[in-house]
Amino acid sequence: MRGGLAAFRTSLAQLTEPEAAATIRGIAAAFDADVADGAVPQPSVPPQSGSTDPARSVRYRPQFLLPPQGHPNTWRTEPLLRLRVATTIGPATVDTVDRLGPRIHRAVIDSLDSSQLSRSLRTLTRQHVPVLADDETGAPTSRQHLGDWQIANDDHLTGDHAAYRLGGDASSGIVGFVGVSLPAFSHAGEAHVVLDIGISVAEPVSILVIGRLLTDGLVALRDAGDALSPVLPADAQASLTGITLTAPRMVAGQSRSNPISGRVDFSPMGEHTRELSMDLGISFELWSDFDANDAGGVIVGAIEAMMVDAGFSDPTDGIDELGTRLSVQR
């Protein structure tokens, strides 16, 4: 069966009609993954934005890496929309890492302050009207100034855990948070670096804009990992990574009407066949020489896989537009 499908796909590849491209994409999504290990079949998408090896591919898995569970201690409440980029760095065990301290804090903050992520968040802040996260009416609030990244002194700081924040307490507008956790027990084999972006604004944010934020966030986490390298083993590197979009509907035990479709404009992705979950997530493995030029291709593939999982019947046009915005050749 696979041989026949492969031959059919090869013949389709010689055509230029959009229908042929969509059919090829569907075949790849259904049959290209190696399912011998029990993995859910997912499309393998080459990260072509900056890769020197076109054969390199990423397998996207419909699983959540470190899903949001309660807001960071530096936030007063859950924002209306939260974007998360999380990555694991390893191998790293408690006996192979050093302690976090002022020098590392400064290096991480410097990398975040100079990141494209910070510039993108400031641009988004200027473009959208902030609203109260815990007000069902979405009452507008005054414009905010993000300032610079700083140590989150109201978080639980130790030698193996640190937190950094940009903006306010997530009660309105746009805020950023980065948490770093080193192994604290002998059986732990990795460090975690997590970026959370809280967005409480009046209008839904386009999935195309979110694609840019996630790309910038992935690069920011890579750079933060480099800043952490003095306390990590020499052979440690980022590997399993995940992105999550969450529109929380339970906050401090209270429910609120907050569908993700009211917080994210998915219209570029076309029609979807079922109601969207309040959480959308995907995970993937990075490779040893992953760099900033690869991030756009990885995120385009991740959002494509996420949209297919969420029930969008053919997000091709939206994915192609996202790829163009991120300068990804597909």
The pairing of strands 205-206 and 264-265 is: parallel
Output the pLDDT for position 145. Answer: 86
Output the pLDDT for position 136. Answer: 73
pTM confidence score? 0.82
How many whole angstroms separate alpha carbon 104 and alpha carbon 111?
Answer: 11
The pairing of strands 250-251 and 254-255 is: antiparallel
Q: What would the DSSP string read from start to end of 83-140?
A: EEEEEEEES--TTT-----HHHHHHHHHHHHTSHHHHHHHHHHHHS-BBBTT-TT--B
- Whether the Cβ atoms of residue 206 and residue 120 lie closer than 8 Å to each other: no
The pairing of strands 81-90 and 191-200 is: antiparallel
Burial readout 185-199 (b: 16 or more C-beta within 10 A, e: otherwise): eeebebbbbbbbbbb
Count of CB atoms situated within 10 Å of the CB of 294? 24
Domain boundaries, the chain: 50-325
φ/ψ (deg, to 5) at 263 = -110, -25
Output the pLDDT for position 11. Answer: 52
Q: How crowded is the C-beta side of 11, counted as CA atoms within 13 Å?
A: 5
Q: How far is CA 190 from CA 10, 72, 195, in A?
A: 41, 21, 17
Output the pLDDT for position 50. Answer: 43
Q: Give residue 216's region: left, alpha or beta (phi > 0; psi -120 to 50).
A: alpha
Rg (CA), the chain: 20
Question: Please, what sign has the CA dihedral across residues 110, 111, 112, 118?
Answer: positive
Output the pLDDT for position 234. Answer: 94
Series of mean pLDDT values for 10-residue runs along the chain (330 residues): 46 47 46 38 42 61 85 91 96 94 97 98 95 84 90 90 95 96 80 96 97 98 96 94 92 83 97 91 93 95 96 97 91
How many whole angstroms separate alpha carbon 108 and alpha carbon 116?
Answer: 14
Nearest Cα to Cα of residue 195 among 307, 38, 85: 85
In sequence order, what are the beta bridge partners of 265?
Answer: 206
Output the pLDDT for position 56. Answer: 54
